[in-house]
Structure 1
Amino acid sequence: MTSWRPLLVALDIDGTLLKWVEGSGTTHEEIAPAVRDAVRRALDAGTQVVLASGRSAHGMTRIADLLGLHDEESERLWIVASNGAVVFRYPPLEVVHEETFDARAAVEAVLRHHPDALVAVEERGVGYRVNRHFPDGELSGEMKVTTVDDIVSGPVSRVIIRDPNATADDFVELGRKLGLHGTNYVVGWTAWLDLAPVGVSKASGLQYVADELGIAATDTLAIGDGRNDIEMLQWAHRGVAMGQSVEAVHEAADAVTASVYDDGVAVELAQWFPNGTGPGTPA
């Protein structure tokens, strides 16, 4: 075992901490005991644990609560939301950094190919503004139905485009075809496209947090399962893909752990924070 131990652990949520509900596009909102215990050992060892997700800010606080990441004596958490476009402290929820962009041209380009697609942007603290309702469970909070023109009328931190009648491969090919100049884009497990400002990713959000904490990427372990985790896995000293990830994620990672269904986060963290790890315990 190497003497290296991460000072910062960055964790994706859906498909990493939470198990997918087969065929529904949603996840079980519960943390496996083995995963929670492993995260607790990392915290007890003095390591910073940062959640990094494509979710909006208000969709992440409950997961922090389920993990027990904070108590009355600890400093407020750092959390990276919206694929790096939003960084906030919690509790209470306070946005401390946000990147925005003009998404109109990119959204119009995608809708020319998928005219029936669903479009959403975050309405902070409430939910999302959408052109039509998304399938149940796919967005957290309320959905306020409005027009696409209204949705992209001003700067936004992230746009979600979802076509239930298409596939992830359709969106991967569309992204390559369009180029989507002026934006970053990430395709999810289904035909789910996240648009963000150029240069913004979970890695850029984590770099902001690491700078604030005085921690280097070389002291960081990151674990994730999706295409939106690739930059994060490459940025960290040790980037670990979940076992069920697609091949592109495996290729970007330094290692592959067990699947989310076999508590892969707990398997990986046990290498650095074995049972008995805590204050005063040697590595």
Structure 2
Amino acid sequence: MAYRLLALDIDGTLLKSNYRLTKETKEAIEYVKEKGVYITLASGRPFLSANKVAKTLKLSPSYLISHDGAFMADNVASPVFERRLSAETVYQIVDILENYHCHFRLFHEKYAIANKTKQKSQLISRMNLQLNDPLFYSTHYVESVSHRLIDQPLSVLNIRAQFWNDREREDAKEELQDTISGLRFIISNDGELHITDERASKATALQSLADRLGIKLTETVAIGSDERDLDMIAQAGLGVAMGHAPESVKSASDWLTRSNDQNGVGYMVKEVFRKQLRIEV
């Protein structure tokens, strides 16, 4: 089987735990590119943040899957696939989240809006590490997000909420499910609640990209490390789970590689693509 499309998650997959790209990973990506394989990033990050990683890997211009599968584009102004949360739905979600102790962010394709909180945590700091360059993706902190939305309604692509304890997260999720229809909820490896339109997923976006490129799903490879990658891994021709992925993701995969801190992407590339001749997409 010749694989023609490679989809890579970013955090926990391409990047090490310290959010750095290794020389080995960069070389692995170049190796796949030389085989004529189309490479996309499939990330929960906003498009502008994912695109910064793509440029580092010299993938740009390339269609990138971002916002947990709710947005796909090669340019932020020209999406070819998007599944947005309506302004009315966003307000309903925020109105509920503001009754809980949590830090949440609304992700538009060009910027984020977040509630101010006095709580500090390693997980929030980790989120900031992913998005801390205001020159390409800014975050606006406000005292009351719901008041802001009354004055300036906003349709966004996804919402992420970090709670101080798991019980409160489950209570909030249950209330959201009971009150608002048409939502998709996934809890990431770090316990963060991710909310998108129910039609949004990395798997759906990958199918859309494959169709656009004239590539069969059996000719795709998808690599990930998180529950948000599970459906993409399950539907790909070759689904690959990182070594530190949860058991649910490993069970959905066809191939298990090493962890991100053990050069898992580089190892997988050498094993899967080394005998493949160059192809043309």
Question: 5+ unaligned residues in a row in structure 2: which ranges?
Answer: 132-136
Identity of aligned pairs, percent?
A: 25
Q: What secondary structure is seen at the aligned counterpart in 2 of 1:62?
A: helix
CA distance in 2, matches of 1:172, 1:68: 40
**Correspondence for 2:5:** 8
Q: Deviations over 1:224-261 (max 9, x none)?
A: 00011011111211111100011111122122111111
**Correspondence for 1:193:** 193
Q: Would you say how many aligned residue pairs link Structure 1 and Structure 2?
A: 258
Note if contact 2:107-2:158 (Cα within 8 Å) is conserved in structure 1.
yes
Note if contact 1:220-1:236 (Cα within 8 Å) is conserved in structure 2.
yes
Residue 219 in structure 1 maps to residue 208 in structure 2: no
How far off its partner does 1:65 sit?
A: 1.8
Where do 1:123-134 residues align within 5 Å? 123-125=108-110, 127-132=111-116
How far off its partner does 1:142 sit?
A: 2.5
Judge which range, 10-19 or 102-111, deviates more.
102-111
**Correspondence for 2:210:** 210
CA distance in 2, matches of 1:82, 1:161: 14
Note if contact 1:170-1:191 (Cα within 8 Å) is conserved in structure 2.
no
**Correspondence for 2:15:** 18
CA distance in 1, matches of 2:108, 2:127: 15
Q: Letter of the 1:253 partner, please give it.
A: S
Q: Letter of the 1:66 partner, please give it.
A: T
Question: For the structure 1 residues 172 and 9, does the alpha-carbon distance in structure 2 shift closer, same or farther, using more than 3 Å as the test?
Answer: farther
CA distance in 2, matches of 1:231, 1:20: 23
Q: What secondary structure is seen at the aligned counterpart in 2 of 1:60?
A: helix
Question: 5+ unaligned residues in a row in structure 1: which ranges?
Answer: 22-27, 71-75
CA distance in 2, matches of 1:151, 1:269: 45
CA distance in 2, matches of 1:272, 1:39: 13
Residue 166 in structure 1 maps to residue 165 in structure 2: yes
Question: For the structure 1 residues 41 and 225, does the alpha-carbon distance in structure 2 shift closer, same or farther, using more than 3 Å as the test?
Answer: same
Note if contact 2:183-2:198 (Cα within 8 Å) is conserved in structure 1.
yes
Higher helix share: 2
CA distance in 2, matches of 1:40, 1:8: 14
**Correspondence for 2:23:** 33
Q: Letter of the 2:115 partner, please give it.
A: N
How far off its partner does 1:174 sit?
A: 5.9
**Correspondence for 1:87:** 72
Note if contact 1:84-1:201 (Cα within 8 Å) is conserved in structure 2.
yes
Q: CA RMSD in A?
A: 2.6
Note if contact 1:184-1:197 (Cα within 8 Å) is conserved in structure 2.
yes
Note if contact 1:88-1:97 (Cα within 8 Å) is conserved in structure 2.
yes
Question: For the structure 1 residues 31 and 79, does the alpha-carbon distance in structure 2 shift closer, same or farther, using more than 3 Å as the test?
Answer: same
Residue 266 in structure 1 maps to residue 266 in structure 2: yes
Note if contact 1:31-1:67 (Cα within 8 Å) is conserved in structure 2.
no
